[in-house]
């Protein structure tokens, strides 16, 4: 898209790191997939974040070998001799017309005195203070590059301090949880760009150099929310599907066949299942059976995403509740969006239908029909097609 809009402009892809999956069974498959994706897109540099080291130094080295781009970090270092794990910065060269432009890309992690990783041969890895190295470093890189960019995991306010303390940066690109920067996030003339996490946003930063190279660069930026209006790249889409499918296969193999549940007191309502309700509410049953809710789990099976915990919640009954859906092997009776997904657990009502139960209303839809998964949802348009 950008290439089409600005055919003459070189495009430089960078990432502020902390992309690695941690603590899930399929972490290795996911991380390999992310590296492959970054390779495909031709990333110029990626900051080495704490998460990339969560699986240990050796796992990171394996990850690094697969990457066709350099990792940068100026303040993740070995404790004994102070050597950094990866380059503190790199120069990325791009050609613009006849001119070669050298972009210095620095990695600066947030200070974390609690961070400690040991290598297999017993060396400690720590994170030093970014403030201590920043000033000297920016100066050093400034001498060798036309533009100096910092990638960072600092917060926005710390990034502002960095811009003031280390003059010479043209841009700070950061990632700190889901934080999104605003146009006003500028310090000492340096724009600060934070595009959130989980790949939901893409920051477009356009740098216009003054003709002849004299004077400051003009920087314009915008965070793009990557909704369906943005075209999919077929190659990356295929890779994503492959990786998600491989992760689903791992999760399916690991999924327990049975669940041990703590006993629930008889006074607390549990899930009875749509079949049970249908015995007394035939009209509602018929209306539900013809709706897509009654088949909502099939689409996850078809996409090989039926064991993805990020998906099942809205395509089943009561996921996360103590008597709700666990996985399709252990609780097959709780797949699909059933009566009780909207009306709540109904066992007490089944026993005594005179008890008040089941108010649903428009609000009951919005937990699943949220802007991300159901952007066009409008209760007054949707309800008539499932009215009962």
Which residues contact residue 202 at a Cβ distance below 8 angstroms, ignoring those fewer than 6 apart? 195, 223, 224, 226
| Total of residues contacting ligand HEC (CB under 6 A) | 55
Find, among 307, 305, 314, the residue nearest to 336 by Cα: 314
Inter-CA distances, 178 with 14, 112, 290, Å: 17, 19, 39
Q: Scanning residues 247 to 306, which ones bind ligand HEC (CB under 6 A)? A: 272, 274, 276-281, 284-285, 288, 292-293, 295-296, 299-300, 303, 305
- CB nearer to ligand HEC: pick between 211 and 361: 361
C-alpha angle 156-159-164 in degrees, rounded to nearest 5 = 135
Site for ligand HEC in 304-333 (CB under 6 A): 305, 308, 310-311, 313-315
- If binding is defined by CB under 6 A, does position 379 make contact with ligand HEC? yes
Interface residue with ligand HEC among 161, 224, 343, 348 (CB under 6 A) is 343
C-alpha dihedral over 287, 289, 291, 292, to 10 degrees? 170
Instruction: Find out whether 168 and 140 touch, Cβ atoms under 8 Å.
Output: no
- CA nearest neighbour of 55 among 20, 19, 102: 20
How far, in Å, are 7, 10, 11, 305 from residue 3 at the CA level? 5, 8, 8, 33
Per-residue contact flags (x/-) with ligand HEC for residues 50 to 89, judged by CB under 6 A = ----------------------------------------
Minimum distance from CB of 240 to ligand HEC (Å)? 10
> Of residues 84, 158, 223, 341, which one binds ligand HEC by CB under 6 A?
341
Q: Which residues bind ligand HEC (CB under 6 A)?
A: 272, 274, 276-281, 284-285, 288, 292-293, 295-296, 299-300, 303, 305, 308, 310-311, 313-315, 337, 339-343, 346, 349-350, 353, 357-361, 364-365, 367-370, 373-374, 377, 379, 382-383, 385-386, 388
């Amino acid at each position: 898209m950008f290439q089409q809009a600005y055919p003459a402009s070189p495009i430089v892809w960078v990432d502020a790191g902390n992309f690695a999956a941690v603590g899930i069974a399929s972490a290795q498959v996911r991380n390999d997939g992310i590296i492959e994706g970054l390779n495909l897109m031709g990333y110029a540099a990626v900051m080495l974040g704490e998460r990339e080291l969560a699986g240990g130094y050796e796992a990171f080295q394996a990850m690094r070998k697969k990457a066709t781009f350099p990792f940068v970090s100026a303040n993740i270092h070995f404790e004994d001799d102070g050597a950094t794990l990866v380059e503190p910065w790199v120069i990325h060269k791009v050609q613009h017309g006849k001119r070669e432009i050298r972009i210095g890309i620095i990695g600066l992690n947030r200070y974390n005195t609690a961070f400690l990783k040991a290598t297999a041969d017993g060396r400690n890895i720590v994170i030093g203070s970014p403030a201590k190295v920043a000033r000297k470093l920016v100066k050093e890189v400034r001498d060798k590059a036309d533009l100096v960019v910092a990638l960072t995991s600092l917060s926005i306010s710390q990034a502002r301090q960095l811009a003031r303390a280390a003059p010479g940066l043209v841009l700070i690109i950061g990632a700190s949880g889901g934080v999104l920067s605003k146009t006003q996030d500028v310090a000492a003339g340096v724009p600060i760009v934070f595009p959130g996490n989980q790949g939901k946003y893409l920051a477009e930063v356009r740098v216009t150099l003054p003709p002849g190279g004299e004077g400051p660069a003009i920087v314009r930026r915008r965070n793009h929310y990557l909704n369906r209006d943005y075209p999919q790249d077929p190659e990356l889409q295929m890779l994503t599907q492959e990786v998600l499918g491989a992760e689903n296969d791992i999760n399916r193999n690991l999924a327990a066949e049975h669940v041990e549940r703590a006993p629930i007191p008889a006074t607390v309502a549990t899930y009875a299942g749509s079949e049970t309700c249908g015995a007394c509410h035939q009209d509602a049953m018929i209306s539900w059976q013809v709706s897509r809710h009654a088949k909502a789990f099939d689409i996850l099976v078809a996409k090989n995403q039926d064991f993805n915990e990020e998906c099942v919640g809205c395509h089943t009954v009561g996921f996360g509740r103590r008597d709700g859906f666990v996985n399709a092997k252990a609780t097959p009776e709780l797949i699909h969006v059933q009566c009780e997904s909207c009306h709540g657990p109904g066992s007490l009502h089944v026993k005594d239908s005179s008890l008040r139960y089941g108010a649903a209303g428009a609000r009951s839809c919005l937990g699943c029909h949220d802007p991300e998964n159901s952007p066009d949802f409008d209760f007054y348009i949707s309800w008539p097609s499932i009215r009962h």
